């Protein structure tokens, strides 16, 4: 499956900008050299999930426990996907420079 198909099929269009934001956050973390590189994807995943949760809560109507569980699930999945896209983009840029 091509990356563009994944983006179109699985990531909410309004959250695509979050991948760009996470990319710059990851770049900033890397430049500080205070955090080990292996933790950057985890930090980006958590940050993406939290920001996605804020978006989902702000745009959802909750009518019961099912809608709350769906919001939690959506937040986690979208956060992981945008963080993955951010890390993937970073690696594509690095590999193209070699």
pLDDT digits (tens, 9 = 90+) for 17-65: 999 999 999 999 999 989 999 999 999 999 999 999 999 999 999 999 9
Q: How confident is the model over 7-13, as a mean pLDDT? A: 85
pLDDT value of position 2: 75
CB 15 within 8 A of CB 78: yes
pTM for the full model?
Answer: 0.86
What angle in degrees, to the nearest 10, is found between the helix axes of 65-96 and 3-10?
Answer: 160
pLDDT value of position 90: 87
Please tell me the total number of residues recorded for the chain in this structure. Answer: 98
> In 10 A of CB 27, how many CB atoms?
13
pLDDT value of position 63: 94
The CA distance from 25 to 4, in Å, is 23
pLDDT value of position 98: 77
């Amino acid at each position: 499956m091509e990356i563009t198909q994944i983006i179109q099929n699985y990531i909410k269009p309004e959250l695509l900008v979050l991948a760009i934001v996470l990319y710059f956050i990851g770049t900033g973390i890397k430049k500080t050299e205070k955090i080990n590189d292996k933790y950057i994807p985890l930090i980006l995943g958590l940050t993406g999930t939290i920001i996605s949760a804020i978006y989902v809560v702000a745009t959802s109507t909750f009518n019961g426990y099912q809608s709350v569980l769906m919001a939690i699930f959506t937040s986690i999945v979208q956060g992981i996907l945008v963080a993955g896209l951010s890390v993937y983009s970073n690696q594509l840029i690095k590999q193209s420079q070699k």
